[in-house]
Structure 1
């Protein structure tokens, strides 16, 4: 079973890929669990780090109302 990033041939994700990162946030702006996102452990770590960096840079919100 492959995950979303593997299916889309995305080898590495950065904080600038906000359109992709938003797919891994809940409706409240929290990072989805690995069992919900369906990512491998390696990709989940990359996505989590990229989301945290994007939040720090102001590209993604910390929470949604």
Structure 2
């Protein structure tokens, strides 16, 4: 994901994404870029819970968040 933010709004935009994703912000080899680094994956905590469908038939479409 790449976020292109004006210099004046960069700190607020980066803080928003850090808060939303829970990732840490680090520098980059390139002065004009910063990185948000995903925390290490701790692995599964146990078996995933199974869930039954409540009714037969097709599921309603879910809203999706697309970040480009």
Q: If the TM-score is normalised by the length of the shorter chain, which range does it land in?
A: under 0.3
| Bigger fraction of residues in helix | 1
TM-score, normalised to structure 1, is 0.24
Provide the TM-score with structure 2 as the length reference.
Answer: 0.24
Q: Highest Rg: 1 or 2?
A: 2
